[in-house]
Structure 1
Amino acid sequence: MSGLLASVTPAADKRAHFRAALDSGHLQRFPGAFSPLVATLIADIGFDGVYVSGAVLSADLGLPDIGLTTLTEVASRGAQIASVTDLPTLIDADTGFGEPMSAARTVTVLEDAGLAGCHFEDQVNPKRCGHLDGKAVVPTSEMVRRLRAAVSARRDPNFVICARTDAAAIEGVPAAIERAKAYTDAGADLIFTEALTAASEFERFRAAIDTPLLANMTEFGKSDLLNAAVLADIGYNVVIYPVTALRLAMHAVEIGLREVHSAGTQSGLLDRMQHRARLYELLRYTEYNQFDSDIYNFALQGVTP
């Protein structure tokens, strides 16, 4: 039964692994998962961790990424995703769902949900996607209070608190660097440099900041899609691919449904579908069947059927 119904690795061990990985010198690759099944696939392929994007969670609920989701919704989905894999899971906590005290509560709730870390951003409420224009950031001092509250609430010292700054696109890279330094001083373990453009900007950030850094390689945004090898050479510690799986899935789903609508059958799409056998492999049907037979492999003696 080990590992069938839930991860065999305790949340504390996942956090310790993630914490150590930040200092390992190896770039940690965290694709975004919009469901526990996708997280299972991420682990099966061999990635280093799982990321849960606030934008993806919002989209999955049919909502735009403007801060409409609640802590309860985010923690619940995060718990479902984190529970199915032995990999550490990093989750998007937006602006902390309120005032600094709310950011503190967010940390306790996400710890209890089994997450390995979360990130808070320095946007004002209502926030918006980091690669859209028209963003606004709070004063540095306000974000510092947010982070200090989050750090103070942490019970597991290995729970990674990441600070995301959106200031580069608003105030410029030098200002974003100064913010990152202040956020590190406030206790952030990891800095998320949002919406940098070319490799030179990532290099500039790395040269100025000693704290571990996270790069966001999201499609159709402001950042060049840098290869993982390039980011590793620059010295980044984590790279996320937050919306990649959702975009791939939704594109395939739309094409397929349009064909079903027009052709009246899905028979022409079978070669583009995940086969039942592969799904059952990911879900470990054989092991569940073995577990079931192990439980029900006896008969009551002396009882006539």
Structure 2
Amino acid sequence: MKTSGDSNDMTTSLKPRSLKQRLSQPGLISAPGVFDMISAKVADGMGFDTLYMTGYGTVASHLGLPDAGLATFSDMVGRVRAIARGTSTPLVADGDTGYGGLLNVDFTIRGYEEAGAAAIQLEDQEFPKKCGHTPGRRVIPMADMVRKIRVACEARSSSDFLIIARTDARTTLGLDEALRRADAYAEAGADIIFVESPESEAEMERICRTIGKPLIANMVEGGRTPVMTGAQLESLGYRIAIFPATGFLAMAAALRSAYGEILAKGSSAEYRGELYPFPDFTRLMGFERVWEFEKRHPETE
């Protein structure tokens, strides 16, 4: 006999339960950048295969600071835990440099995995790190990053928790060095390779032609890398495309428009910009469960 939960169970069984499972299937994975619980819940309900917790956006949203190595492990793992527990879509989380040396990397891997992330991104920048599309980035010796990756692979409790190795060498040391590092990080055990900020389609094509592991393309509007269509990225050979800035740039523009109306006219009564319907937002935040609970358990008899 078919039960009321059959259709939901069937839908769940068809949807990949991990990023690793999704990578075993064909097609480009496009992951929106999420940076707080509102962005995460909106994206979670839209059918994406993966969400990307952007370090830039999370630090900006949580601390109001630049993505320049100012957020601590404690700051970030708390955000990972909140987003992972508040959503059902596999979450890729930015882990910066691992927040220190090898012992810190070990602790970071264990913390992010326990918090519920599906994958962690580690980069080979010196501390303090900087956003990959801003100037002044410096990288550690390749051998040091190789050791970090080996520690990361050893620290995880499940191979379903994926290690993403990012190199920022392209901007200061050139593409040849970035590819040399990418190859070494793949050999060290990284599941996914992220060559940050290539500066042309030709460079992106060369990256995909050279590296044998799944590759990430970082699509930052206004950044150093050309923003390409999904079809173009897939044809080059990328498996994952992340869009870390799109959400918070759109949010900031929308807020500026709405708040500008209030500033100019003293009210939102005549605002004609798009607003998320308040009843829908209330449901998105889970108020229906609150209302149902209060019916079953009233404070007074």
TM-score (norm 2): 0.89
Summarize the Cα distance change of 1:174–1:23 in structure 2 as closer, same or farther, 3 Å threshold. farther
The one-letter amino acid of 1:188's match is A
The one-letter amino acid of 1:98's match is G
1:149 and 2:169 correspond: no
1:69 and 2:74 correspond: no
Using the TM superposition, give the Cα deviation of residue 73 of structure 1 relative to its aligned residue in structure 2, in angstroms.
0.9
The one-letter amino acid of 1:239's match is A
The one-letter amino acid of 2:195's match is T
C-alpha root-mean-square deviation of aligned residues, in Å? 2.1
Summarize the Cα distance change of 1:189–1:16 in structure 2 as closer, same or farther, 3 Å threshold. farther
* Aligned length, in residue pairs: 286
The one-letter amino acid of 1:36's match is M
Asked if the contact 2:52–2:93 (Cα under 8 Å) also holds between the matched residues in 1, the reply is yes
The one-letter amino acid of 1:220's match is G
CA distance in 2, matches of 1:258, 1:193: 39
CA distance in 2, matches of 1:81, 1:272: 26
Asked if the contact 2:36–2:58 (Cα under 8 Å) also holds between the matched residues in 1, the reply is no
Moved more, 265-274 or 33-42: 265-274
CA distance in 2, matches of 1:280, 1:263: 27
Moved more, 283-292 or 57-66: 283-292
Using the TM superposition, give the Cα deviation of residue 199 of structure 1 relative to its aligned residue in structure 2, in angstroms.
2.1
The one-letter amino acid of 1:189's match is D
CA distance in 1, matches of 2:158, 2:28: 23
SS state at 1:267 partner: coil
Structure 1 residue runs of 5 or longer lacking an equivalent are 1-7, 9-13, 300-304
Aligned to 1:38: 39
Asked if the contact 2:149–2:190 (Cα under 8 Å) also holds between the matched residues in 1, the reply is yes
Aligned to 1:11: none
CA distance in 2, matches of 1:172, 1:155: 35
SS state at 1:45 partner: coil
CA distance in 1, matches of 2:21, 2:202: 27
The one-letter amino acid of 2:31's match is F
SS state at 2:176 partner: helix
Summarize the Cα distance change of 1:210–1:84 in structure 2 as closer, same or farther, 3 Å threshold. same
Q: Using the aligned pairs only, state the percent identity.
A: 34
Moved more, 272-281 or 210-219: 272-281
CA distance in 2, matches of 1:296, 1:34: 34
SS state at 1:102 partner: helix
SS state at 2:182 partner: helix
Q: How does 1:122-271 map to 2 (within 5 A)?
A: 122-269=124-271, 271=273
SS state at 1:195 partner: coil
SS state at 2:193 partner: strand
CA distance in 2, matches of 1:186, 1:111: 20
Structure 2 residue runs of 5 or longer lacking an equivalent are 1-8, 10-14
Per-residue CA deviations over 1:161-194 (Å, capped at 9, x if unaligned) read: 1000111112211211110110011111001121
Per-residue CA deviations over 1:50-99 (Å, capped at 9, x if unaligned) read: 11111111211111111010111101011111112211000101011001
Using the TM superposition, give the Cα deviation of residue 27 of structure 1 relative to its aligned residue in structure 2, in angstroms.
1.1
TM-score (norm 1): 0.88
Using the TM superposition, give the Cα deviation of residue 271 of structure 1 relative to its aligned residue in structure 2, in angstroms.
4.2
Q: Which structure ranks higher in relative contact order (CA pairs < 8 Å, sequence separation ≥ 6)?
A: 1
Asked if the contact 1:89–1:117 (Cα under 8 Å) also holds between the matched residues in 2, the reply is yes
CA distance in 1, matches of 2:195, 2:26: 18
The one-letter amino acid of 2:49's match is D
The one-letter amino acid of 2:268's match is Q
CA distance in 1, matches of 2:188, 2:228: 29
The one-letter amino acid of 1:257's match is Y
CA distance in 1, matches of 2:152, 2:123: 12
The one-letter amino acid of 1:258's match is G
Per-residue CA deviations over 1:144-163 (Å, capped at 9, x if unaligned) read: 11111111111111100100
Using the TM superposition, give the Cα deviation of residue 287 of structure 1 relative to its aligned residue in structure 2, in angstroms.
5.4
